[in-house]
Structure 1
Amino acid sequence: MERALYGDNGFYRRGERPAEHFRTSVNASPRFAAAIARLLVEVDALLGHPDHLDVVDIGAGSGGLLTNILACVPADLAPRLAPTAVEIAPRPPDCPDRITWRPDLPDTITGLAVANEWLDNVPLDVVERTPDGIRTVLVHPSTGSERPGPAPSPEDQDWLDRWWPLREPGDRAEIGHPRCAAWASVVGRLSRGLALAVDYSHSRVSRPVYGTLTGYRDGLTVPAVPDGSCDVTAHVALDACTTAGERAGATSTLLTTQRDALRALGLSGSRPPITLAHSDPRAYVTALCRAGEDAELTDPSGLGSFGWLTQTVQIPIPSALTSA
């Protein structure tokens, strides 16, 4: 999975744009960035309006999230904002000049760090319970054919015992401690501020029996063959990442759904009153389009089912998220 995604000829190393292969909240609507911008404004206030406010997009793709945030932040905040895209793919030619583009995380972050559909692409191993015990699944990188390999390492087994125990032969798990470590590395870089992870997720009480490993290419799900031709992804155990973030220094935590979070941030999806169509038809059409975009972003059977893990360091969880 590491080579298939990030190797010399890996899927993301080639500069593939996520929007060409699967639909994310960022490319579904700029309303998603507007909601993040509202969150950023509250983080700025909780930090006391510092002279330098970081906003870091981890796994930035083509830079669309930061570009849209810059377009809608208040005028008094914009000059103090330091936008950084963390992405191993080359910088797109249309990326605004003021966005810093780098392949690794900054050493310190004061402000907001967003990992939107990043953790699901952090490579991991898959294991299966067989009649001979739990075995790592080995995959041929060109064909995708599988065979049982060695038993998981002690570190892997410890994570499985706590977060994803396998009970019956044929049951599979995706060992999530690399994602926990990746998330801890984000929280650990916060001097003060908020880290947000947004992803398809599951919890210990509802792990999928056969796992979630999937491939995406050209808008379709395909077999997860790790040959570099497709995105290889798996849902995230955000409950395990929560504990990792707390160990890394998070002082407050909120784990919720995208539906609830975006509604708290003002994306209701409510249809505008029909009377507006008569008094101001253009405003009615605009409001109707926004309602449709909000509805897609908060759809409980789609993007709205994403998990939102919010963890802060030295500030409380923003009231906009806790008062809903």
Structure 2
Amino acid sequence: MSNLPSPTPEALAHSQRLHADIARKIGEEGGWMSFARFMELLLYAPGLGYYAAGARKFGSAGDFVTAPEMTPLFGQSLARQVAQVMALSAPAVIEVGAGSGRLAADLLLALEALSVLPERYAILDLSADLRARQRETIAAAAPHLLDRVEWLDCLPESFDGVVVANELLDALPAHLVLWTADGICERGVAVDDAGRFTWNDRPASGALLAAADEIADQCRIESPYLSEIALAARAWAAEWGHRLQRGALLLIDYGFPRHEFYHPQRDQGTLMCHYRHHSHPDPFYLPGLQDVTVHVDFTAIIAAAHASGLDLLGYTSQGQFLMNCGLLDCLARIPQATPDYFRASAAAGKLLMPHEMGELFKVIAIGRGINAPLLGFASGDQSRRL
């Protein structure tokens, strides 16, 4: 794409290696690969995938900026909700997909200021590169708290406490589905005679077909209609029903309730790629050098979690959640008319305002054994929309 920044020769060679590796796997699988598998390799192929290799991804030097990278106010506000859930369950936190480690550092410092430090703060991230960066970030910001942090290789068999995941679900592999007048197809990836990736459709089947039929009935989909179904995100949410004994998952991501996700005007889906602070819809561009995401169907997430025995504890916009958790109080503690205040105020506006991140991003709380209303959903709870 001519309007996007050009990669370095080293980065381009890295991308070409991943392209060749995926093309070889497509050949081994009979010439066709589901987009979910393709997305998995783009992001997580060992040593080559976007999140498995060493390129800088977060912040101004990366491909996108997450809320924790913008301002400590995000972590300071979220800490109040984390503290309440820990008081109702156990003093333990697991952060899944911790990125640069910025949120972990901010949460630990904020919980320390509230005198409610967790006994342990675990991070589940399979990328060795990101683990190293997370350790560096926490060591620089909160060296006296580093000994409370541990890294996990898999989900715990049993857990009491708080699970935090910021922008995790959008990066879990999703299937592409095309509803047509002749039936429901799964859109996959093939390789043409020139070695380029190309789209290839085949009839949907199994669990994917069942999910697509359900969505078509509920949302009155009119063909042709292309969108995503994230079976992996559903499975991830359901898995906590077997592991969470008492506590809550706090999941923050961009997405919609189902009836909005599969809106008639959204007939090309939500698939989006992020490269050097540019967004575009082509997942075939520079494999391994760009993030590939889909929005979250929050109705599917709570349906899967509820079926495994978990409860919906709240659902609202990020802006409302952060307001309920006292973001403006945190901002007010910064001396006014100072450069720090002006920077924090601008970042707060991006986190809260509906035309920025405040409305597109949502927060959903799912748990077990939590009987008190949660602080972050005290006002403006939108659970009825799910």
TM-score, scaled relative to structure 2? 0.74
| CA shift for structure 1 position 4 | 0.9
Give the one of 194, 198, 203 matched to 1:145.
198
| CA shift for structure 1 position 318 | 4.2
Contact 2:234 2:300 in 1 (8 A): yes
Q: Secondary structure at the match of 1:35?
A: helix
Residue deviations 1:6-32 (CA, integer Å, cap 9, x gap): 112111111443331112111111111
Give the one of 156, 160, 170 matched to 1:106.
156
| CA shift for structure 1 position 185 | 1.8
The residue that corresponds to 1:225 in the other structure is 284
Matches within 5 A, 1:167-246: 167-206=221-260, 207=262, 208-222=266-280, 223-225=282-284, 227-246=287-306
| CA shift for structure 1 position 290 | 3.4
Q: Which moved more, 1:313-322 or 1:188-197?
A: 313-322
CA distance in 1, matches of 2:224, 2:315: 30
| CA shift for structure 1 position 44 | 2.4
The residue that corresponds to 1:10 in the other structure is 49
Matches within 5 A, 1:211-290: 211-222=269-280, 223-225=282-284, 227-268=287-328, 282-285=335-338, 286-290=340-344
Give the one of 46, 68, 73 matched to 1:31.
73
Give the one of 199, 207, 210 matched to 1:155.
207
Contact 1:187 1:311 in 2 (8 A): no
Q: Which amino acid aligns with 2:187?
A: V
Q: Secondary structure at the match of 2:214?
A: helix
Q: Secondary structure at the match of 1:10?
A: coil
Q: Secondary structure at the match of 2:178?
A: strand
CA distance in 1, matches of 2:175, 2:320: 31
Q: Secondary structure at the match of 1:167?
A: coil
Contact 2:315 2:377 in 1 (8 A): no
C-alpha RMSD of matched pairs (Å): 2.5
The residue that corresponds to 1:132 in the other structure is 182
Q: Do structure 1's residue 41 and structure 2's residue 59 form an aligned pair? A: no
CA spacing shift, 1:253–1:323, aligned 2, 3 Å: closer
CA distance in 2, matches of 1:323, 1:2: 37
The residue that corresponds to 2:363 in the other structure is 308
Contact 1:311 1:317 in 2 (8 A): no
Q: Which moved more, 1:207-216 or 1:98-107?
A: 98-107
CA spacing shift, 1:28–1:186, aligned 2, 3 Å: farther
CA distance in 2, matches of 1:316, 1:174: 34
Matches within 5 A, 1:45-64: 45-47=87-89, 50=90, 53-64=91-102
CA distance in 1, matches of 2:301, 2:290: 26
Q: Which amino acid aligns with 1:229?
A: L
| CA shift for structure 1 position 131 | 4.5
| CA shift for structure 1 position 140 | 4.0
Residue deviations 1:267-303 (CA, integer Å, cap 9, x gap): 249997xxx9xxxx95443544433222111121222
Q: Do structure 1's residue 66 and structure 2's residue 116 form an aligned pair? A: no
Structure 2 unmatched ranges of 5 or more: 1-38, 140-145, 380-386
Residues paired across the two proteins, number: 311
CA distance in 2, matches of 1:290, 1:260: 18
Q: Secondary structure at the match of 1:92?
A: helix
CA distance in 2, matches of 1:57, 1:31: 18
| CA shift for structure 1 position 258 | 0.5
